[in-house]
Amino acid sequence: MKLENYITGNWITGDGDGQQLYNAVTGEAITAASTKGLDFKSILEYGRTIGNPALRKMTFHERGNMLKALALHLRNHLDAFYAISYKTGATKADSWVDIEGGIGNLFANASLRRKLSNETFVVDGESHNLSTNNTFMGTHILVPKEGIAVHINAFNFPVWGMLEKIAVNLLAGMPCVVKPATVTSYLTEAVVKEIIRSKILPEGALQLICGSAGDILDHVGSQDVITFTGSATTGLMLKSNPIILKENVPFNMEADSLNCIVLGNDVTPDMPEWSIFIKEVRKEMTLKAGQRCTGIRRIFVPENKMDDVWKEIGKSLSQTVIGDPLNATVRMGSLAGQTQRNEVKEQVQKLLSSSQIIYGSLESVDVVGADANNGAFMSPLLLMNENPWATVPGFSTNPSHEVEAFGPVSTIMPYKTTEEAINLSKLGKGSLVSTIVTADNKMAQQYVIGAASHHGRILVLNNECAKESTGHGSPLPLLVHGGPGRAGGGEEMGGLRGVKHYLQRTAIQGSPSTITAITNIYQQYANGKDPGKHPFTKYFEELEVGEQIITEKRTITSEDIDRFADLSGDHFYAHIKTTDFEGTMFEQQVAHGYFIMSMAAGLFVDSYEKNPVLLNYGIDELRFTKPVYPGSDIHIRFTCKQKLLNDKRVVENPEDMKRGDDIEKGIVKWLVEMIDETDEVTGVATILTMVAMKG
């Protein structure tokens, strides 16, 4: 029996016997994977012509809610996924990171919809006035690319590795084809079968190939996006494909890297940071049996603490029970397969040219509830390199900074000063993550600023944050995941940053009224619309962007300013009429900016009866651009700038309901321009109101 590939709307098995896949714990054959005979050109074209138009028609809010629905659906099938995950050699904790971590990624990306308008495009960044008379301007928009995302994953996170990528491209509005690491692709297949069964995604949005990627990269085009997670060597080979170079296809790579952890010079055995450091190293060496792209490969310790540290690490590792993941006492399972174990041992042999094993055995391991030889089990290995600066024949520098053993293997090395630790960290030529454990914030600053150029993420770990820290090896959906140099130069996830990899940024230019019509966001100086009645009397659905009122004028008096000073307690010298204004920025007593803003509300708020406006949600981009003196006549130009959906808060327990939770509502942004008798803008702000929906 072979795994099925989900392509062109059908489940299809590849030709031939395929690659045999085994239970990593028992060594028993499970299934086989084959993509032989698949038409990869047709697979990509199907995604472009069927999946892409369907997703592009959806708004960002619709796609975000689609991800949320998918996450909720998959959460109902955890038991089935966990049962399969054990066969990959993963413990319950390993599987939690992979399965529920992946589903959590869907939830996190779904939440990004709140930062985006309910449109099929995004306005990116600020608008720019490009003319003297305010008739010509420019801004940027982002639209989904018209191709397909190709995700090639060589690392053994069969669920997280897929979901963390597809969450981003689906939110952006691009379909994808996923090629997981073959050795554990049977778990990916099970999850995709549940996704397809749910019918939550439009047809063509997701395709799966289990096995070789074949010639898929020979058929990509300029509108496609490729992501690769795996070894730097393989990534370079794929990235060098002539078609990719010719078509300038975006290639986002996350490669294996020599991530490191540093014990600060300030940390001593009696400090909590000492045990935090030991626990972090042990966790990173044993979680997922060290098979994580973010795993700690290099451990830098002050030279006068080397003996104490490695002995503590060894003691901690000795307490880690290894064996069958189904056994409740087991804390570390097997590697993903025999091939993986053999590769790790080969890499360790290279490391031993400059290091020695100080904990563990390359040849044997004690396991519980399993056979060490039939299963892909391996002892954690702690190596020591006492001279990390030494160049070794056959290597450009030192193997510890060049060779990664993708398993439960780390090398401990000494350093003298923080500056030396920084420079040692850089010898890895780029990593996904580095951690420094220190209670000294000045040392933390020195390390972070000094080392940041060579690491995609830096965790500063101390007693203040340790209990809630997600740890060295946990990439987070709202932060970038990637790194420079050897780590691939890519940037996965990162909130909206990750979404933008799948969008095309285009500058648009025109009159403010035209740009308003295109973007559905009111641009300053565009023509306003007569709302017919006060906008505050309209429900969310009834409001139109560009609806505008011009208020009556109010004359600002010295008495107004005095009263506001007394009421607010703000007696700044510029607001006091007896001040000698020689040498100041002002000619005479000046009105408080916040008084003008408050007065503006009094002019534009329709306050006589209850209306659909539920509350003031906040003020953005408030600027005071011209002093307002006593005698100035101020009026307000008040314009509906943008409408944003606001999802109803969902609570499982009715007792958790808050007042207003049952009201359907949206957020409306209003442009407030405060204008004086010379027709100049003295202040500008964007206020946000929560407005009830009629339906």
Domains contained in the chain, CATH given: 5-253+497-503 (3.40.605.10), 260-475 (3.40.309.10), 528-692 (3.10.129.10)
Percent of the chain residues past pLDDT 70, beyond the cut: 98
22-61, pLDDT tens digit by residue? Answer: 998 998 999 999 999 999 999 999 999 999 999 999 999 9
| Residues 259, 300: Cα–Cα separation, whole Å | 11
Predicted local distance difference test score (pLDDT) of residue 610: 81
For 213, how many CA atoms within 13 A lie in the half-sphere containing its CB?
21
Query: Which two three-digit tokens encode residue 448?
Result: 């972070």
From the list 321, 387, 381, 329, the residue with the least C-alpha distance to 354 is 387
Q: What is the pLDDT of residues 282-315, one digit of tens each?
A: 999 999 888 888 899 999 999 999 999 999 999 9
Q: Which helix (H) or strand (E) element contains residue 646? A: strand 633-646
pLDDT for residue 655:
61
Selecting among 293, 404, 547, 673, the annotated active-site residue is: 293
Say if CB 302 and CB 273 are below 8 A apart: no
- Is pLDDT at 409 greater than 60 in this prediction? yes
DSSP string, 394-415: TSSS-GGGT---SSSEEEEEEE
Token pair of 533, please?
């009645």
- pLDDT for the residue numbered 646: 80
The one-letter code for the residue type at 553 is: K
pLDDT digits (tens, 9 = 90+) for 571-599: 999 999 999 989 999 999 999 999 999 99
Taking 90 as the threshold, does the pLDDT of residue 151 lie above it?
A: yes
- Known catalytic residue at 293: yes
Q: Across all residues in the chain, what is the average pLDDT?
A: 92
Token readout for 381 is 């290995």
Confidence of residue 338 (pLDDT cuts 50, 70, 90): confident
Residue 302 in 3-state DSSP?
strand
Q: What is the mean pLDDT of residues 341-356?
A: 93
Does 658 score more than 70 pLDDT?
A: no
Provide the pLDDT for residue 272.
96
pLDDT given at position 373: 87
Does the pLDDT value for residue 653 go beyond 70?
A: no
Q: How much is the pLDDT for 661?
A: 63
Q: Write out the DSSP string of 340-362.
A: HHHHHHHHHHHHTTT-EEEES-S
- For residue 589, the model assigns a pLDDT of 93
Is the pLDDT at 659 greater than 70, yes or no? no
- Structure tokens, 236: 């370079």
Res 509 pLDDT > 90 = yes
653 or 238, higher pLDDT: 238
280 catalytically annotated: no
Give the pLDDT of residue 31.
Answer: 93
Catalytic residue among 4, 164, 189, 254: 254
For residue range 87-137, what is the model confidence (pLDDT) as tens digits?
999 999 989 889 999 999 999 999 989 888 889 999 998 899 999 999 999
Q: Are 60 and 118 in contact (CB under 8 A)?
A: yes
Inter-residue contact 147 to 224 (CB < 8 Å): yes
| Pick from 671, 656, 650, 684: nearest CA to 71 | 650
